Amino acid sequence: MGANFGEQRIVFDNGIEGEPLTIESGSPASYFEAISSPKSVTQTEIDAKLFVPQGKGPFPVVIVVPGSLGVAPSHLAHAETATGLGIAACVIDPFGRRQVTSTVANQAQYSFAASAWDVLATAKLLASHPEIDPDRIGAQGHSRGGTAVMTAAMRDFAGAFGHISLAAVYAAYPWCGHQFIVPEIGQTMLRAVIGDRDEWCSPQQVQGHIHAIALTGGNVSFRLFEGAQHSFDRGTEIEMVADASVAPCAPTCYVARDGALIHPLTGEPDPNLGERDVMVYGMKAGYGRRGARIGSEGNQAQQFRADMIAFWREAFART
């Protein structure tokens, strides 16, 4: 769906049609640029579709952020589920206008900082939309999108954007290879879920990240799904993505408060150290490999949907 997403007419079975939006986002080259020099960030537009429930607003909204394969039917299905709960959903396409079709073989085509920037830029636009409640804006990300929504919740990152605060974040099988050294999320409610057979991302790394956020006082929760692979919410048979470049067990790269990456070998922040540099280190150190599985079996997709629904009902009931 990626490149043509903005031009598509999408109508759910419940009759709700997506309103096309153009998000004024940006493509920071690094966390350091995003936090320490935000005015120098290259401006970028991305496409989105806003699905507003029937009835009288303003409504809470969930920003749905896809992963490395771009917008998939499962992301639209989650958006439709949200509208059935009386929650608006805004599905974003980070790829199309950046001329990217997939990042499975090369995650360095644009930065992870840019992925988080997309989330905050979308939240900023939605906060001014007449049908949206600005105090109830949440984000749900999958895989790389899960990384994006967790980063967008970090106060050190969001503060540089203008202190936008997400009410809640649902991170589905996120990659947690980058973690802020002070992972404060303020009042955001955050939940991360991942399967214990995930071959793309490390469940242990996600556990550690959630625990670190909890130690700062964050309102977090975590669930490990038994026997589940990556993207176990897709509702499709498990398949091997042969060109996937993954390094789930590579050492964590921490991010200093000013956005500088901290190389695992030196322990020192370096504003000139790039995301690609750390990725190359992980590969050369022997952690990288080609090929990883995605998909569902049994009732895993239904379990995911039930967990997702419970989270968003609780999150928006408290705000």
| Domains detected in the chain | 2-317 (3.40.50.1820)
* Helix, coil or strand: residue 93: strand
Residue 1 has pLDDT above 60, yes or no: no
Average pLDDT over residues 309-316: 98
Query: Would you state the structure tokens that stand for residue 150, as one six-digit string?
Result: 């967790």
Q: Quick one: pLDDT at residue 104?
A: 75
Instruction: Name 308's Cβ contacts closer than 8 Å, sequence gap at least 6.
Output: 78, 81, 140, 170, 172, 233
Q: Among 32-36, 51-55, 263-267, 315-319, which stretch is predicted with the lowest mean pLDDT? A: 315-319
Q: Are 186 and 155 in contact (CB under 8 A)?
A: yes
At 92-111, the pLDDT tens digits run 999 989 988 888 767 767 89
Residue 79 has pLDDT above 60, yes or no: yes
Average pLDDT over residues 47-73: 94
Rounded Cα distance between 318 and 315, Å, is: 6
Q: How confident is the model at residue 177 (pLDDT cuts 50, 70, 90)?
A: very high
Q: How confident is the model at residue 318 (pLDDT cuts 50, 70, 90)?
A: low
Phi, psi of 175 (to 5 degrees): -85, 125
At 196-212, the pLDDT tens digits run 999 999 999 999 999 99
| Percent of the residues in the chain that have a pLDDT greater than 70, as a whole number | 98
Q: Among 2-16, 85-99, 137-151, 229-243, which stretch is predicted with the lowest mean pLDDT? A: 2-16
Rounded Cα distance between 168 and 215, Å, is: 18
Residue 2 has pLDDT above 50, yes or no: no
pTM reported for the whole predicted model: 0.96
Q: Quick one: pLDDT at residue 153?
A: 98
